[in-house]
């Protein structure tokens, strides 16, 4: 047992005054994104029986398998930790599978850093880096759901869900320039080795803006292979890792999803995938605009990997996966930018087909 | 001494990957050990030519700046031309990686300025310099590719 189990039990007791004999076990840290520490655990407690007409029923034991997501000392991307909790809460029952969330806690007296607690969902992520069949024979079925869920997300009115406090949530239009400003600032802040190709790509994106967005949408921000769970029968059970969620152009997520570093098009070619998205969202994909967002994705990825390198360099958290992302993924996207900029009028459309 | 830095690092990586990672019950720790082995391998493979890569890159950038002066020098605004001329005649301050990296970042910063200036210029000379820049950037990324 670590010192965390009793602290979590104390927190749950604080949140659930009716609970008795709270026990935490099977507490393990798991791989769950690089920007937050993720732990799985089992919580058990007793609740007093109900009293009705002077009769009290027996107390019952409740068991829950939970996930605890805690802010790290430093991470890949600086994010407000309540974003993910807020989005999970808002999207419950809206057609996009997300875990049920219970508590968000910002007070560091409980677990030193902000955290939130949510249900552990069934299923597992596909290991697409190391397996040629990460979805165990369900590749196409998973890929179609992948696009359908993203299309469903794009169709949702964020204001109706009270998500106007997300980044860009209270503005309209010019999402491309706001996001480019956002990621360029992060890139410049964390850039270690000056990369002239990334600077050139940013200038090109500014000189060649995309058409206006088809609609303001909830943008997951990191919608890709590896950030969802699937069950043995080939069903996507949860879309995870929403800490970069914001409001913007839905094509941002589409372009990110087809980045060749996490190739979903291996399981379903790009065009039928886009058709699934179009049917679910009710909008047509402007292919030329998508090309702009693909180059943007490579710049955004470069900013994230630069942040990873800076995070590992300066500490205090020195996670191996963060260093590996900075080195290997950073190189991949620098090369991708060079390939795209070699023919910027036809930016890499062929890569995803 | 035959026990070089490369040999030691490869040995450490193999121990982490083949003996330590499989022996760990905690899957998070085991995965961290496996990733640590990969990082050490990548680092080991970068040791031998680390200085050579940077010396080549700095020389290539200085040569590029010289060619750019010849081809588009009169069109440059401000003192960019003067700073490029100074860079052409500069040299690496030493062969420590930290010294080479500092000089490399100084030259790369100048390259960003040159590239931006060239993009706004008309004419074949500007297009030729632009093409040279992209060629050097491609070669740089290739030479710096992490080897696992």
Residue A47 and residue A63 in contact, taking contact as beta carbons nearer than 8 Å = no
First vs last Cα of chain B: how many Å apart?
25
CA distance B24 to chain A (A): 13
Q: Which pLDDT does position A349 carry in this prediction?
A: 44
Distance CA B45, CA B50 (A): 9
- Residue A91 reports pLDDT greater than 80: yes
Q: Which pLDDT does position B74 carry in this prediction?
A: 83
Residue B148 and residue B45 in contact, taking contact as beta carbons nearer than 8 Å = yes
Residue found by looking up tokens 């840290």 in the block: A29
Distance CA B65, CA B87 (A): 7
Q: Is B20 on the interface with A (CB under 8 A)?
A: no
Burial B118-143 (b: 16+ CB within 10 A, else e): beebeeebbeebbebbbebbbebbee
Burial (Cβ within 10 Å: 0-12, 13-18, ≥19) of residue A56: exposed
Q: Is B141 on the interface with A (CB under 8 A)?
A: yes
Mean residue pLDDT of chain B comes to 95
Distance CA A218, CA A138 (A): 27
Residue A319 and residue A73 in contact, taking contact as beta carbons nearer than 8 Å = no
Peptide bond preceding A158: is omega within 30 degrees of 0, i.e. cis? no
List, in order, residues 6 or more apart from A228 with CB less than 8 Å away. Answer: A125, A146, A236, A237, A238, A239, A240
Question: What mean pLDDT comes out for the span A166-183?
Answer: 93
Mean residue pLDDT of chain A comes to 91
- Residue A58 reports pLDDT greater than 90: no
pLDDT band for A35, please (50, 70, 90 cuts).
confident
Distance CA A194, CA A141 (A): 42
- Residue B146 reports pLDDT greater than 70: yes
Q: Which pLDDT does position A346 carry in this prediction?
A: 61
Cβ–Cβ gap B31/A323 under 8 Å:
no
- Residue B147 reports pLDDT greater than 90: yes
Q: Which pLDDT does position A78 carry in this prediction?
A: 45
- Residue B18 reports pLDDT greater than 90: yes
Contacts of B139 in chain A (CB under 8 A): none
- The CA-atom distances, in angstroms, between B16 and each of A129, B27, B86, B96 are 20, 14, 48, 29
Residue A320 and residue B36 in contact, taking contact as beta carbons nearer than 8 Å = yes
- Residue A25 reports pLDDT greater than 70: yes
Contacts of A29 in chain B (CB under 8 A): 26, 28
Between A53-57, A296-300, B25-29, B98-102, the lowest mean confidence (pLDDT) is in A53-57
CA distance A205 to chain B (A): 13
- The model carries a pTM of 0.93
Q: Which pLDDT does position A350 carry in this prediction?
A: 41
- Residue A52 reports pLDDT greater than 80: no
- Residue A352 reports pLDDT greater than 60: no
CA distance B26 to chain A (A): 8
- Residue B10 reports pLDDT greater than 70: yes
Cβ–Cβ gap A28/B116 under 8 Å:
no
Q: Which pLDDT does position B22 carry in this prediction?
A: 97
Residue in chain B lying closest to A323 (CA): B39
Residues of A with CB under 8 A from a CB of B: 28-31, 193-197, 199-200, 203, 319-321, 323-324, 327-328, 331, 334-335, 338, 341-342
Residue A45 and residue A62 in contact, taking contact as beta carbons nearer than 8 Å = yes
pLDDT band for A98, please (50, 70, 90 cuts).
very high
More confident residue, A74 or A183: A183
Cβ–Cβ gap A331/B39 under 8 Å:
no
Q: Which pLDDT does position A353 carry in this prediction?
A: 36
Contacts of B137 in chain A (CB under 8 A): 196-197, 338
Residue in chain A lying closest to B41 (CA): A324
Percent of chain B with pLDDT over 70: 99
Cβ–Cβ gap B137/A197 under 8 Å:
yes
pLDDT band for A72, please (50, 70, 90 cuts).
confident
Q: Is B101 on the interface with A (CB under 8 A)?
A: yes
Distance CA B81, CA A15 (A): 66
Q: Which pLDDT does position A345 carry in this prediction?
A: 63
Q: Is B139 on the interface with A (CB under 8 A)?
A: no
Contacts of B127 in chain A (CB under 8 A): none
Cβ–Cβ gap A324/B38 under 8 Å:
yes
Q: What is the pLDDT of residues A109-122, one digit of tens each?
A: 999 999 999 999 99
CA distance A60 to chain B (A): 32
Contacts of B101 in chain A (CB under 8 A): 193
Contacts of B146 in chain A (CB under 8 A): 327-328, 331
Q: Which pLDDT does position B77 carry in this prediction?
A: 86
Question: What mean pLDDT comes out for the span A225-241?
Answer: 96
Structure tokens at B45: 């493979």
Contacts of A195 in chain B (CB under 8 A): 108
More confident residue, B37 or A170: B37
Residue in chain B lying closest to A196 (CA): B112
What 3 state SS string does chain B have? Answer: CCCCHHHHHHHHHHHHHHHHHHHCCCHHHHHHHHHHHHHHHHHHHHHCCHHHHHHHHHHHHHHHHHHHHHHHHHHCCCCHHHHHHHHHCCCCCCCCHHHHHHHHHHHHHHHHHHHHHHHCCCCHHHHHHHHHHHHHHHHHHHHCCCCC
Cβ–Cβ gap B137/A327 under 8 Å:
no
More confident residue, A317 or B27: B27
Q: What is the pLDDT of residues B88-144, one digit of tens each?
A: 999 999 999 999 999 999 999 999 999 999 999 999 999 999 999 999 999 999 999
Distance CA B14, CA B85 (A): 48
Q: What is the pLDDT of residues A304-325, one digit of tens each?
A: 999 999 989 998 778 899 999 9
Q: CB-CB: which of B28, B36, B134 is closest to A31? A: B28
- Residue A351 reports pLDDT greater than 60: no
Q: Which pLDDT does position A79 carry in this prediction?
A: 52
């Amino acid at each position: 047992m670590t010192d965390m189990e009793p602290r979590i039990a104390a927190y749950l007791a604080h949140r659930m005054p009716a609970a008795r004999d709270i026990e935490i076990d099977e507490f393990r840290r798991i791989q769950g994104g690089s920007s937050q520490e993720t732990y799985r655990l089992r919580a058990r407690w007793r609740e007093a029986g109900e009293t009705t007409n002077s009769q009290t029923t027996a107390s019952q034991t409740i068991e829950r398998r939970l996930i605890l997501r805690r802010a790290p000392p430093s991470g890949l991307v600086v994010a407000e930790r309540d974003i993910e909790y807020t989005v999970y809460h808002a999207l419950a029952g809206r057609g996009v599978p997300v875990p049920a969330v219970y508590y968000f806690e910002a007070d560091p007296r409980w677990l030193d850093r902000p955290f939130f607690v949510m249900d552990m969902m069934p299923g597992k992520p596909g290991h697409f880096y190391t397996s040629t069949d990460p979805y165990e024979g369900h590749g196409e079925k998973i890929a179609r759901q992948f696009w359908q869920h993203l299309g469903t997300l794009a169709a949702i009115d964020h204001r109706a869900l009270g998500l106007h406090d997300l980044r860009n949530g209270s503005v309209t239009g010019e999402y491309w320039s706001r996001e480019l400003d956002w990621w360029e600032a992060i890139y410049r802040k964390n850039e270690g080795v000056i990369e002239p190709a990334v600077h050139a790509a940013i200038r090109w994106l500014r000189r060649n803006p995309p058409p206006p967005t088809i609609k303001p949408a909830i943008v997951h921000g990191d919608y890709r292979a590896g950030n969802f769970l699937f069950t043995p029968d080939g069903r996507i059970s949860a879309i995870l890792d929403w800490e970069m969620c914001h409001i913007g152009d839905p094509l941002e997520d589409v372009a990110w999803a087809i980045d060749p570093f996490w190739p979903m098009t291996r399981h379903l070619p790009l065009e039928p995938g886009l058709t699934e998205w179009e049917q679910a969202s009710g909008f047509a994909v402007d292919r030329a605009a998508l090309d702009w967002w693909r180059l943007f994705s490579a710049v955004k990825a470069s900013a994230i990997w630069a942040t990873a390198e800076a995070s590992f360099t300066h500490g205090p958290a020195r996670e191996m996966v963060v260093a590996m992302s900075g080195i290997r993924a950073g190189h991949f996207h620098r090369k991708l930018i060079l390939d795209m900029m070699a023919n910027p009028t036809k930016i890499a459309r062929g890569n995803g087909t | 001494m035959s026990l070089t830095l490369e040999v030691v690092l490869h040995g450490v990586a193999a121990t982490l990957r083949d003996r330590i990672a499989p022996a760990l019950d905690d899957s998070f720790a085991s995965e961290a050990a496996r990733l640590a082995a990969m990082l050490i391998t990548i680092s080991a493979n970068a040791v031998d030519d680390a200085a050579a890569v940077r010396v080549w890159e700095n020389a290539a950038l200085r040569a590029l700046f010289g060619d750019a002066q010849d081809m588009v020098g009169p069109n440059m605004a401000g003192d960019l031309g003067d700073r490029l001329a100074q860079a052409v005649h500069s040299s690496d301050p030493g062969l420590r990686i930290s010294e080479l990296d500092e000089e490399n970042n100084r030259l790369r910063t100048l390259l960003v300025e040159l590239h931006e200036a060239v993009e706004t210029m008309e004419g074949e000379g500007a297009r030729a310099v632009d093409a040279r820049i992209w060629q050097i950037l491609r070669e740089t990324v290739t030479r710096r590719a992490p080897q696992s």
